[in-house]
Amino acid sequence: MISARGITVRRGGRTLLDGVDLDAAPGSLTAIVGPNGAGKSTLLKVVTGDLAPDAGTVAVLGRDLGAWPRREIARRRAVLPQGIALAFAFRARDVVRLGRLPFGSGRDDRALADAALAEVGLADRAAELYPNLSGGEQRRVQYARVLAQIAEASAAGEGLLLLDEPTANLDPAHGLGVLAHARRLADRGLTVVAVVHDINLATPFADRFVGLRGGRVRFAGPAAETVTAANLEDLFGVTAVVTPHPVHACPMVAFVAPV
């Protein structure tokens, strides 16, 4: 579904990404991890087409990203950015309905928007003004918006979902809920790529991890092979202890504070 090769981005005399490769297959959930300033969000912006790289190529469904008509790709690919500023006092339902814009006007997507809100546990907040919601609730409304955008692709078992810190501002229960939902979408055949900070939230759900540091890939592969103490210490510069998860068949990580 996604094939990025040799992605290089330079801005203001700095190299933000340096020859990065990224692959994500249909039916998979890939987690991108790394310290602040590693280039994670920059890489996602290149893959979404929001940022043109100085070098490298991105293909989606075997087709160069730049060759896709914007409306056509928007019907198959949804993006949840890291920060979303909304100045208008729309109701939660109407924010979700914004995800339906690629499908044209004259449609009544209220039922679809309400269904998406129900999927994120906000069915009772559909008529609430967006600014009156908590930060976590706003984040879940935005997740519902991208679900509404790719509803048809999801039903067909195809499509692409790109998430930049989808668990930001969420408590553990809702953070796990969002990633568990993304995992279910991947199990239906969607391709999901998510930038995450909390590795333990992602390990039960991600097929692959990509570690970025200094704009370069430091490791990439299945969680069992990549979420190791050595890799994480190299990535974050902090002592890490990796043990088997007590419930799931995946690693669990503890970072040790300096004494």
The pLDDT tens digits for 85-121 are 787 899 999 999 999 999 986 667 888 999 999 999 9
Domain residue spans of the chain: 1-76+158-259, 84-149
pLDDT of residue 97: 94
pLDDT of residue 104: 81
Averaged over 156-178, what is the pLDDT? 91
pLDDT of residue 195: 97
Averaged over 34-46, what is the pLDDT? 95
Please tell me the distance from the alpha carbon of residue 113 to that of residue 110, in angstroms, as a whole number.
5
* Share above pLDDT 90 across residues of the chain, in percent, rounded to a whole number: 83
Please give the distance of CA 101 from its chain centroid, rounded to a whole number.
Answer: 21
User: Helix (H, G, I), strand (E, B), or coil: what is residue 231?
Assistant: helix
Q: 0.75 cut: is pTM over it? A: yes
Q: 1-76+158-259 maps to which CATH number?
A: 3.40.50.300
Contacts of 225 (CB under 8 A, 6+ apart): none
Q: Which of 168, 93, 89 is nearest to 123 (CA)?
A: 93
Residue 216, classified by CB atoms within 10 Å of its CB into exposed (0-12), middle (13-18) or buried (19+), is: middle
